[in-house]
Amino acid sequence: MVRTILATTALAAFVSASNLAYAAQTATTQQAQTVSGHLASNIIGKKVYNGTGDNADNVGSVDDLLIGDNGAVDSVIVGVGGFLGMGEKDVAIPYNTVKWAEKDGNRWLVISATSDDLKAKANFDRKSYDTTSANSAAVKQDSNNDTSMAAAPTETTTAPATTAAIGATDKASLTPIDPGKIRTQELVGTTVYGANDANVGEIGDVVLTKDGKVDAVIVDVGGFLGMGEKEVAVGMDKLSFMKDQNGNKYLYTNFTKDQLKAQPAYDKSTWADNRDNQRMTVQ
């Protein structure tokens, strides 16, 4: 059974493509730096080059992150089809071999791979890690096996456009999910509930540790608190994720309004020094 999962987000790249191209053309002797702790959204979408010199090529961009059973990022998934002139092709590059290069405040990713190396790499099979598709296939199989099941009305089989609030009765019908099997694409936008099943906000991003493990999810609770924008970092410890029959995901916590008000806001610039203070956990 496949246990390795994908982490995806649709957020924009940190540096524009034009700045990245300029940096690649002008860089000559920059020292590449080992990837450190980052938000997943600061990696996904990044342009990837095969060097730091004037002759470096833009081989593609990061489409996804592959997370292993231990919660650490195993590989970056890079779309290289355009560079190779062969249509769509994604390849998995070991995370510990990816470097950062920097010049004049601009940063880009660097891998050690030639055109021939990338051509020789096997296509990354995304479908093997698509838990949503697997769940849909299982539901379809169950439906085919149950000949006594009548066709459901159209309005009950159509997935909602947005995640709706779940009442106490509906919550009892939800299915628990192993957090380690949820892609970041599925985490971002997930509605988060607090004490008494109050809708407190939604997940907007994911924080990775220096060694690539998922450390926390960032939840915007400002609207719930009536105080404008406020993001809080919620540690992955003891989180209770659930899904309904349509695959919609929900995160349940026991945080009260007073706890969220008192919690220091997540600050990316000071996270490294104040992680323990900024990171709240379910007790």
C-beta neighbour count of 119 within 10 angstroms: 14
* Rg of the chain on CA atoms, in Å: 21
Asked if residues 199 and 56 have their Cβ atoms less than 8 Å apart, the reply is no
Closest by Cα among 178, 157, 166 to 246: 157
Q: What is the pLDDT of residues 212-255, one digit of tens each?
A: 777 899 999 988 888 878 999 999 888 889 988 888 889 999 99
Task: State the pairing for strand pair 47-49/106-110.
Answer: parallel
Q: The whole model's pTM is what?
A: 0.53
Q: Going along 221-259, which residue ranges are E strands?
A: 231-235, 240-243, 249-252
Report the alpha-carbon distance of residue 101 to residue 281 in Å, rounded: 34
Reply yes or no on whether the pLDDT at 43 is more than 80: yes
Reply yes or no on whether the pLDDT at 12 is more than 90: no
Closest by Cα among 186, 191, 134, 207 to 10: 186
- pLDDT at res. 276: 92
- pLDDT at res. 166: 54
Per-residue tokens: 184:
């970041």
